[in-house]
Amino acid sequence: MPSPKSIFLTKLSIFFFLILQSIHCQANVPQLLVADSLFAQRSYKEALEIYQANYQLGVYSPSMLLKMAFITEGIGDKEMATLYLSKYYDLSPNPQTITKIKSLTGQSELVGYEVSDAMRFVLFLTEFREVLVSALTLFLVISLILLWSKGRKLTEPRFYWPSVLLIVLIFVTNNFLKSQNAALVTKSPTLIVSKPSAGGELVDLVEPGHRVKIKSSKDIWYEVEWKEKIAYIRKDNVTRL
């Protein structure tokens, strides 16, 4: 009859394998390398198709977003170029990006791009999420190997907690470490109102380029944070980042 320890380690290994599969399925690295090669050859349309397919799956990097912004601006799609630059700003906040977005949207001032020190730390972790998950996975492998090598010598539950903790950290990092829930204003003009109805008091009238933090969703409306206040905006006036 299998020992409780063997059963535990078997389940642990299965769960670990499923996590690895989830990580592996998130990106098609060879496909992205093909897109980068097409971009270098100035086959921008073909490269953009591959980039956009991966972007829809949530797979992107700062360099990929810059390339997508470059291509879409080149074909005259300033709305999408602004969207990709805004997403790039989430991963790498810098004044140059803000200047470029202002140029694309014709805005002199932009709201919603403020980033606190805490948010910068989260964005840093988000940017290197795959590296972080890989490092935690490596430690998990080492932990499992040590457990197997010790055999029956390890009988107390405390010896298994490092592996359990690593699994939890991998799961949380891989599934919950994400950038802020924000949206980009894409329609002109866009009304920001005090209530989720046409009868709501006008809070602001804005042009494309500004960003709002989404708090919740209510029918055709988003409850958002606008200039540190709660307001509402129609879903069809913004694009989620």
Assess if residue 72 is contained within a domain.
no
Assess if residue 195 is contained within a domain.
yes
Assess if residue 13 is contained within a domain.
no
Distance CA 129, CA 22 (A): 14
Assess if residue 191 is contained within a domain.
yes
Assess if residue 224 is contained within a domain.
yes
Assess if residue 123 is contained within a domain.
no
The strand pairing partners of 230, in sequence order, are: 225
Q: Is the pLDDT of residue 8 over 70?
A: no
Contact 50, 35 (CB under 8 A): yes
Distance CA 74, CA 78 (A): 9
Distance CA 185, CA 227 (A): 14
Assess if residue 209 is contained within a domain.
yes
- What is the domain count for the chain? 1
Distances (CA, A) of 193 to 83, 138, 208, 233: 23, 50, 16, 7
pLDDT in tens, 141-155: 888 888 777 766 666
What's the chain's average pLDDT? Answer: 83
pLDDT in tens, 157-195: 677 788 889 888 888 887 777 666 889 999 988 999 999
Q: Supply the angle between the helices 29-40 and 44-56 in degrees, to the nearest 10.
A: 150
CATH number (domain holding residue 218): 2.30.30.40
pLDDT in tens, 26-66: 456 788 899 999 999 999 999 999 999 999 887 888 899 99
pLDDT in tens, 65-74: 999 999 999 9
Least confident of 20-34, 43-57, 109-123, 131-145: 20-34
Assess if residue 20 is contained within a domain.
no
Residue ranges making up the domain that contains 207: 182-240
